[in-house]
A and B are shown apart, each in its own frame.
Chain A
């Protein structure tokens, strides 16, 4: 029983961290129809910045700085690598995203020297707490609560504010909203800023729980978060969050199965199997609007 609770707890927390990345994917895909392959690597870079900043600054200063710098990075990537290709075929933008991902990974390898880096212990998040008889870190408890709060704030932003209205309009019809006088470029920038900020927060929560960051540690969470976004219905924020929680829980359950079965190598593969099943049978995802251009 205690074992089940601890597996579920960590599943929910991993799911929450994926959710924060998945929102970035789903927002960008909703507006640009682009799988932002670099998003997972932005997340990894945010983790590395956390390490380097915490080494020179107190934690209370370095954490907000991480988020600000991640936002700047996301903004810069959009301006440099995606904006010039606005009129190009969709595939060119995706290739550009893959190029950015390659660049970020190689730069990270250069800066870290390819060594795995240890994330600093954040006093409050790393402390342990007792839940129903199992010892667990505070971050495990805080993650889902924080995620729900952020998602609530985000849905308010999208449904109640003018920027949110513009975002919805652009994702509905790019060309028409442009004709209606919406400044496409600033809407896209806002999208990338929100996505990157969430990825920055996600990186703090995610890497507190993991022993080390390598230049490749963004790729897999990134892909999984994208699968979560597709699973929940691309473009839908609640869908992305629910998809991320399902994938996070399923993944920790697979990892927690008896080691004699030796199935833990499939924790990543399971996510992709889920992706293919959902694409074949329900391509619009759990909560997505039925669209015909996907299949």
Chain B
């Protein structure tokens, strides 16, 4: 009963958030004379897009590290799989020769966008429908490929514990990165070069016949996909599977004694987490408008791990908040530290390219050392708390 009561208000809250994102994105076109922050080119939207993508990956990592207690460092590898799957499957056939020019064209002349295009047509509304369906299918497949790979490497890797698991998953991510850079696989992966030309976030903007943008959806799309995925993860965490994950985290031996299949649940958590990391990788490819193995280094995994730690290991809302703060600080608010500044005629020392990241990593160290619970610890923000109290009272009366 309680679940049902909370379901619709939550849904309404999410819908409101998404509508707000659409409004924010389009307000500069409707109301002239707004500050530059609201222009489509402002860092605000870069931050929102990147943070939406990263928060999905951070939550997926938290599912594994925070809720199941499996310390995996393979996130960048699964993102790489997702990014490449998405990119390879959505580059339109017409573009393939140009993208793969070093290898004389792609090995398979196939693209989901074209496939749906044959059904719905390639222009106008039909073109839009085929692009949306093609991208959606490719994004889901990106997750499936990453999840399947996780299933395969889960057999050897999930038997390992704590830091051995971490270093083995890190190793797998590095192996994947090498394989995708192999020139012999060039006709599929484009070797060490990037794959370009696939639909990105801005492809989802609705344009008029003359090419002018009628409705911007480029920030809405990552928010929408991330929100759907995070809701799915939260539902999973609150299910009996989620409780099994938490019991494994708290005490493996006790969990096994209670009849929880350790290996089955660990594999499940690993596969699901990797599925969403794969989806996150596809979104990341859309965000940067290219897919290149070089980007998915272990540093990327560390970055996401640090986000999870800042937000609080074991808190979904913490991870989301931390991602937005982290991305906003690194891409926008701390930018001023990177450029030389003068206070009158006095040049403020130390400010120069790279200083931002030094300050930033010192702050991270302070959090790791002195506030090891992060922003949220393992609590969650309850949007419905004011209403929740009322509910509790009612329940109390009925007893």
Question: Which A residues are within 8 Å of any B CB, using their own CB?
Answer: 33-35, 80-81, 84-85, 88, 90-92, 94-96, 98-103, 105-107, 109-110, 113-114, 216, 219, 223, 226-227, 230, 262-263, 265-266, 268-269, 271-273, 275-276, 279-280, 283, 293-295
Interface size class of B (residues with CB under 8 A): 35 or more
Q: With A106-B361, A110-B354, A275-B168 given, can you name 19 additional A-B contacts, CB distance below 8 Å?
A: A35-B163, A35-B166, A80-B369, A92-B372, A94-B166, A99-B368, A219-B299, A223-B174, A227-B167, A262-B184, A265-B178, A265-B192, A266-B178, A266-B182, A269-B174, A272-B175, A275-B167, A276-B168, A283-B160
Residue of A nearest to B174 (CB): A272
**What 5 pairs between A and B have smallest CB-CB spacing?**
A272-B171, A110-B354, A269-B178, A106-B357, A103-B361
- Decide: A276 near B306, CB < 8 A? Known: A94-B166, A110-B355: no
Check B305 for interface membership: any CB of A closer than 8 A: yes
> In B349-390, which residues have CB < 8 Å from any A CB?
352-355, 357-358, 360-362, 364-365, 368-369, 372
Chain B hits for A84, CB < 8 A: 369
B358 near A103: Cβ-Cβ < 8 Å: yes
B361 near A294: Cβ-Cβ < 8 Å: no
A279 near B168: Cβ-Cβ < 8 Å: yes
Q: Please, could you name 28 A-B residue pairs with CB atoms under 8 Å apart, sorted by A?
A: A33-B163, A35-B163, A80-B369, A85-B372, A90-B163, A94-B71, A95-B305, A95-B368, A99-B306, A99-B364, A103-B361, A105-B299, A106-B354, A106-B358, A107-B361, A110-B355, A114-B353, A230-B167, A263-B182, A266-B182, A268-B174, A268-B178, A275-B167, A275-B168, A279-B160, A279-B168, A280-B156, A294-B161
* Contact partner, A269, options B159, B179, B352, Cβ 8 Å: B179
A103 near B372: Cβ-Cβ < 8 Å: no
Check B113 for interface membership: any CB of A closer than 8 A: no
Residue of A nearest to B303 (CB): A102
B254 to chain A, nearest CB (A): 17
Chain A hits for B368, CB < 8 A: 92, 95-96, 99
Chain B hits for A113, CB < 8 A: 352-354
Chain A hits for B20, CB < 8 A: none
B165 to chain A, nearest CB (A): 9
B369 near A96: Cβ-Cβ < 8 Å: yes
Check B181 for interface membership: any CB of A closer than 8 A: yes
Residue of B nearest to A269 (CB): B178
Chain B hits for A80, CB < 8 A: 369
Chain B hits for A273, CB < 8 A: 171, 175
A62 to B306, CA, bound (A): 36
A227 to B175, CA, bound (A): 14
A249 to B193, CA, bound (A): 29
Check B204 for interface membership: any CB of A closer than 8 A: no
B170 near A102: Cβ-Cβ < 8 Å: no
A81 near B167: Cβ-Cβ < 8 Å: no
Check B302 for interface membership: any CB of A closer than 8 A: yes
Check B309 for interface membership: any CB of A closer than 8 A: yes
A99 near B361: Cβ-Cβ < 8 Å: yes
* Contact partner, B358, options A101, A110, A279, A283, Cβ 8 Å: A110
A26 to chain B, nearest CB (A): 14
> In B264-279, which residues have CB < 8 Å from any A CB?
none
Chain B hits for A102, CB < 8 A: 299, 302-303, 306, 361, 364
- Decide: A85 near B172, CB < 8 A? Known: A106-B360, A276-B157, A283-B164: no
